[in-house]
Each structure stands twice: as structure tokens, then as C-alpha cells.
Structure 1
Amino acid sequence: MKKLNFEIIINASNNKVWDAMWNEENFKKWTSAFCEGSYVKSTWKEGERIHFLDPNGNGMYSQISILEPNNRMFFTHIGNIENFEELPIDENSKQWSGATENYTLISDAVTSKILVSIDCLEEYVAFYSQSFPKGLAIIKEIAEKQ
């Protein structure tokens, strides 16, 4: 597994950036860089499960390992979802189960920086290397317009 890191500086406060990232409608906008129509189902509580889904109800389930509003959101990925149902860990998902996806906001009086760190299977490095900068640019656009 390879560790990928991304960052972007945004001319907005960290609470505006946080809203641009995790507000339900905004989440749909920026994650369209990965999959058009993607969305999330979550209680948004640390330690609880979160479902990352495509329009057909397929995706993955994870645990929110750290949630500090306006500061950090860390996920630990667990397994696949098919037709809205969590699947047991199989040989395929064993390859990446336990991978992390971490978002940290660093803010000063004028700007906020998003730092993203993800564990990635080699076969998806090119996809995420291309998609994450697009998604972060959408977050920037949303936050700077608020």
C-alpha cells in the first residue's frame, strides 16, 4: 500500500472549509471528482460507521476513527458495500481493509490548509493522484464563495 498526500490552501476560515467538505450537499459536489452522484450515509459520530456510496448503492464502509469538528476527520476503511449492504471481509477487501484516509485543517487568521493523507493500493495511485486535486479545487471554490 502506498501513502498519498495532497494539500490545498483556501482563502476561508476553517469552519467554512469544514462545511464545504462535510455538509451533505457540498460532499456530493466535491466527491463528484471521484464518482458522479456519490454520497455518504453517516451519523457523523466518532467511532461509528460511515457508508461511502455511489448512486447504485455500492461503495465501501469505514469507521470514523477521529472527528474533531473544524480540525480533523480520520477514516479507517473496512470493507465493501453492495446494494446498500455491508459485505463480509473477503480476499479482495483484505488487501485494503484497515487503510486510512485522513483530513486535517490548519488555519491562520486568513487562510486554511487542507492536508489529506490516504493509504492507496498501487492500482489506484494514478486515479487518486488525478482525482484528489480536482476534489480539493471544488472544496476551495465552495468555501471561498460562502
Structure 2
Amino acid sequence: MDKLHFTTRIDAPVHTVWTTMLDQSTYREWTRLFHDGSHFVGSWNPGQVIRFLAPGDDGTLRGLVARVVDLRPDELISLEYLGEVSGGINDTTSAHAQRFAGAHEDYSFRESDGVTTLVVEVDTDEEFTAMFAAQWPRALARLTELAEERASTAD
């Protein structure tokens, strides 16, 4: 498994970045750069299961299922992947799903003088490293645009 690291500075208060990242409507907007129709189902509360989904080529929902390990508002989100979702059903036992089990995705937020630094660390199967290395910077650029737009309209 590879670990990818991404850092972005966003000209917006940390709470604005946090809510922009996690609100369902803006989450769909910045994550569509991974896959059109991306969304989450579940709760961001620690210990809860959350599913990250998008329509597959056959129209059924596909994606990953994770457990929220830790969540500290405006500071940290830590996820551990349990497996995948195929045809809308959680799969944590098949050999294919096990490729994702145990992978972590962590987000840390730090604000200084109204600018938020967001650090993303993602474990990924080697098969997807190049794809995510290209997609994450674009998705974070879109998240930055959305959060900065929100911050400018709040002034």
C-alpha cells in the first residue's frame, strides 16, 4: 500500500473549510473530480460507518465503506476503510474488498491569520496511486475555490 500526502492552503477560516468539505452539497461538488456523482451516506461521528459512493457503469452504486476513527471539529478527520461497496452492498470479506481494508485517510486542519492549511494523507492500493496522485490536487483545488467563495460572501 502506498501513502500519498497532499497539502493545500486555503484563504478561508478553518470552520468555513471544514463545513465546505463536509456539507453534502459542496462535498458532491469537490469530489466529482474523482467520479461524477460522488457522495457519502452515513454519519461523520466517531465509530460510525460511512459509505463513499458513485454510480458505476452499470448504474449501481459502487465505492468504499469506512469507519470514522476520530473526528475533532475544525481539526481532524480520521477514517479507516473496511472494504468496498459493489452493487450497493457492503463487501468487507472478498479478496478484492480486502485490498482496501485497513487503509487510512486522514485530514488535518490548521488556521493561522485566517488561512487554513489542510493536510491530506491517504493510503492507496498501488494500482490506484497514479490516478489519485493526479486527481487529489484537482479535487483540493476545487475545494479551495468553494471555501474561498464561501468565505468571501460571508464578509
Q: TM-score range by the shorter chain?
A: over 0.9
Q: Deviations over 1:114-137 (max 9, x none)?
A: 100011111111100100001100
What SS does the aligned partner of 2:15 have? helix
The counterpart of 1:113, out of the listed 102, 110, 117, is 117
Letter paired with 2:93: I
Q: What aligned pairs does 1:85-124 form with structure 2 within 5 A after superposition?
A: 85-124=89-128
Query: How far apart, CA to CA, are the structure 2 residues paired with 1:110 and 1:88?
Result: 41
Task: Find the counterpart in structure 2 of residue 125 from structure 1.
Answer: 129
Q: What aligned pairs does 1:63-102 form with structure 2 within 5 A after superposition?
A: 63-102=67-106
- Does the alignment pair 1:39 with 2:39? yes
The 1:87–1:119 alpha-carbon spacing in structure 2 relative to 1, beyond 3 Å, is same
Letter paired with 1:30: W
Query: How far apart, CA to CA, are the structure 2 residues paired with 1:110 and 1:38?
Result: 29
- TM-score w.r.t. the length of structure 1 is 0.96
Contact 2:84–2:100 (CA under 8 A) maintained in structure 1: no
Q: Deviations over 1:42-66 (max 9, x none)?
A: 1221110000001331111100001
Superposed CA RMSD in Å reads: 1.0
* Number of equivalences: 146
**Higher mean displacement: 31-40 or 83-92:** 83-92
Task: Find the counterpart in structure 1 of residue 153 from structure 2.
Answer: none
Q: Which runs of 5+ in 2 are unaligned?
A: 151-155
* Structure 1 segments (4+ residues) deviating >6 Å: none
Q: Which runs of 5+ in 1 are unaligned?
A: none
Query: How far apart, CA to CA, are the structure 2 residues paired with 1:133 and 1:108?
Result: 22
Letter paired with 1:18: W
Contact 2:14–2:116 (CA under 8 A) maintained in structure 1: yes
Query: How far apart, CA to CA, are the structure 2 residues paired with 1:103 and 1:28?
Result: 17
Task: Find the counterpart in structure 2 of residue 6 from structure 1.
Answer: 6
What SS does the aligned partner of 2:130 have? helix
**Higher mean displacement: 49-58 or 130-139:** 49-58
What SS does the aligned partner of 2:36 have? coil
Query: How far apart, CA to CA, are the structure 1 residues paired with 2:138 and 2:33?
Result: 6
Contact 2:92–2:101 (CA under 8 A) maintained in structure 1: no
Query: How far apart, CA to CA, are the structure 2 residues paired with 1:73 and 1:88?
Result: 22
Query: How far apart, CA to CA, are the structure 2 residues paired with 1:88 and 1:71?
Result: 29
- TM-score w.r.t. the length of structure 2 is 0.90
Report the CA distance between 1:109 and its aligned residue.
2.1
Query: How far apart, CA to CA, are the structure 2 residues paired with 1:96 and 1:80?
Result: 7
